Amino acid sequence: MSANTVIQKIQEKAQAQCDEILENGKQKADAAREAILKDGKAKADDILEKAREDAAMLLRAGAQQASLDSKIDCLNHKHELLQKAKSEAKTKLLSYGAAQFCALALKLAQENIRGEKIRLQVSKADKDKYTSSSFYKEATGKDGTLLAAMEQAAIDAQGAPLTLTLDKNAAPIDGGFLLCGETYDMDLSLDALLSDIFEQHEKQIADRLFAAGKDVS
């Protein structure tokens, strides 16, 4: 074999090895690029999914807040309606004529006055109505006073004697009265009576108001 032939074979072998090295390098580079792209896509997908979850969470939070705000507005609206209804009821009670005034006082006395010695406290504006014979006559057509009639109504209700007197001190109330007994005190002012009624029957009152579409303006 000539020297030229040997050199040629060495060159061919070297070229083949070089080509092999280049091919392996290309394959490794392609594999590395593929891995990088795959990893990048996975990370991008993770970021996108997290963004979607965050957006969904924000939407849910926003919807919950909107629902809460709506409920609060509704409760405030209901409260306003109830307060207005209570105020209107009080105004109506305060405008009672003599007959209605006496009828309410007698009913409250019959249902609530118990004991032996009871003092009645009323507002300054109502004081004369309990001791005026002309006022009681106008209301019932009978002789006497409202205070005496209330005393008798309470006696009949409890089946035992008692003494009902009008306290000289006026009560800081708009209507109704306060009872001061030996063993108890009772607030039967219009404000207290209306508060009790509205608390006990709030749902029924509210349902009736809202069903009727009562306007608060």
> How many whole angstroms separate alpha carbon 66 and alpha carbon 45?
31
The pLDDT, as a whole number, for residue 211 is 64
The pLDDT, as a whole number, for residue 42 is 66
The pLDDT, as a whole number, for residue 17 is 67
Tell me the sheet residues that pair with 179: 120, 186
Tell me the sheet residues that pair with 180: 119, 185
Please report, for the chain, the start and end positions of each structural domain, with discontinuous segments joined by +. 1-95, 96-202
Among the listed residues 92, 147, 94, 91, the one whose alpha carbon sits nearest the alpha carbon of residue 125: 94
The pLDDT, as a whole number, for residue 26 is 61
The pLDDT, as a whole number, for residue 119 is 97
Helices vs strands, H then E, count in the chain: 7, 4
The pLDDT, as a whole number, for residue 4 is 65
pLDDT digits (tens, 9 = 90+) for 141-163: 999 999 999 999 999 999 999 99
The pLDDT, as a whole number, for residue 216 is 40
Res. 136 pLDDT band, cuts 50 70 90: very high
Which residues in 9-128 belong to E strands, given as ranges? 117-121
Q: Are strands 117-121 and 176-180 parallel, antiparallel or unpaired?
A: antiparallel
User: Which residues are CB-neighbours of 186 under 8 A, at least 6 positions away?
Assistant: 112, 178, 179
The pLDDT, as a whole number, for residue 160 is 95
* Cα–Cα distance list, 13 to 4, 17, 21, 25, 170 (Å): 14, 6, 12, 18, 125
The pLDDT, as a whole number, for residue 217 is 40
pLDDT digits (tens, 9 = 90+) for 61-116: 666 776 666 667 666 767 677 778 888 888 998 899 999 999 999 999 999 999 99
pLDDT digits (tens, 9 = 90+) for 186-197: 999 999 999 998
Among the listed residues 104, 98, 93, 109, the one whose alpha carbon sits nearest the alpha carbon of residue 135: 98
- What is the domain class of 96-202 according to CATH? alpha beta
> How many whole angstroms separate alpha carbon 162 and alpha carbon 180?
13
- Residue 93 C-alpha from the chain's centroid: 28
Residue 202 DSSP class: H
Res. 178 pLDDT band, cuts 50 70 90: very high
> How many whole angstroms separate alpha carbon 106 and alpha carbon 184?
20
- Whole-structure pTM value: 0.60
